[in-house]
Each structure stands twice: as structure tokens, then as C-alpha cells.
């Protein structure tokens, strides 16, 4: 387990977001990314809740923003070093953003983003 302040963890999430190519972040729409303390179920490092871009049609309006939650304490609990936390945050952020783009877990696993 790695001890990090919430503020430092939020910085890591921001740094991970900065690694996403601008061409992709410009396509993200109606989504908010938050750091949450603990997941709704043990072992969950991140969670995407919303309507993926690939499923939005003409009737998509008036929806609350999609939400990507990155779970601070859970990620710190599964990592042994600060460097592992940095890498796991990056993997989790990319994984959850991929869900926003409509990429499911099976495809993410095939691509090595398990």
C-alpha cells in the first residue's frame, strides 16, 4: 500500500489526462472525471457511468454529464510503490476514457489495457 494525499493523487490524475492526445480529448463530450475516495465494490479502480459516444443518437439531449470516477484509496491499496501508483492511475484513466468512447472491457483486454 502506498500513502498519498488526495491532493497528490488528484495531481496524478491530471498528469494522466495530460498524456491523452488532444485529438481524443477534444472529442470527449459531456463527461466529468472525478477522484473518489472508495469504490462501490472492493477491487474497482475506476468506473465509467453514462452513455458512450457510440450510443448517442439524435435523442441524446438533456442528459447529466457522464461520470468517470477514479478511486484514490483503492489504487493506493493495490500498489507497492509510488511509481506503481503513477502507472496504475494512467492505466485506469485511459481505461475509463475508452469506455466513454464505447470500447468495452473485452476489447480493452485484447488491446492490453485490462
Taking residues 61-70, what's their average pLDDT?
A: 94
Q: What is the pTM of this model?
A: 0.91
Give CA–CA dist 114/80, Å, rounded.
19
Q: Residues 6 or more apart from 83 whose CB is under 8 A from it? A: none
Q: Is the pLDDT of residue 74 over 70?
A: yes
pLDDT digits (tens, 9 = 90+) for 49-64: 999 999 999 888 889 9
pLDDT band at 114 (very low <50, low <70, confident <90, very high): low
Give CA–CA dist 90/18, Å, rounded.
10
pLDDT band at 113 (very low <50, low <70, confident <90, very high): confident
Torsion over CA: 57, 111, 75, 39 (sign): positive
Would strands 46-49 and 66-71 be described as parallel, antiparallel, or unpaired?
antiparallel
pLDDT band at 86 (very low <50, low <70, confident <90, very high): very high
Check residue 46 and give its pLDDT: 97
Check residue 108 and give its pLDDT: 87
Task: Convert 100-109 to b/e letters by CB count within 10 Å (16 or more is b).
Answer: beebeeeebe
pLDDT band at 112 (very low <50, low <70, confident <90, very high): confident
Taking residues 85-94, what's their average pLDDT?
A: 96
Instruction: Classify burial at 33, counting beta carbons within 10 Å of its beta carbon; exposed 0-12, middle 13-18, buried 19 or more.
Output: buried
Amino acid at each position: 500500500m502506498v500513502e498519498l494525499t488526495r491532493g497528490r493523487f488528484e495531481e496524478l490524475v491530471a498528469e494522466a489526462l495530460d498524456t491523452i492526445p488532444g485529438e481524443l480529448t477534444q472529442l470527449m463530450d459531456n463527461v466529468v472525471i472525478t477522484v473518489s475516495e472508495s469504490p462501490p465494490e472492493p477491487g474497482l479502480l475506476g468506473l465509467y457511468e453514462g452513455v458512450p459516444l457510440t450510443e448517442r443518437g439524435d435523442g441524446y439531449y438533456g442528459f447529466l454529464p457522464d461520470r468517470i470516477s477514479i478511486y484514490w484509496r483503492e489504487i493506493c491499496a493495490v500498489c507497492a510503490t509510488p511509481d506503481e501508483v503513477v502507472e496504475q492511475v494512467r492505466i485506469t484513466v485511459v481505461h475509463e476514457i475508452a469506455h466513454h468512447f464505447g470500447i468495452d472491457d473485452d476489447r480493452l483486454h485484447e488491446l492490453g489495457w485490462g
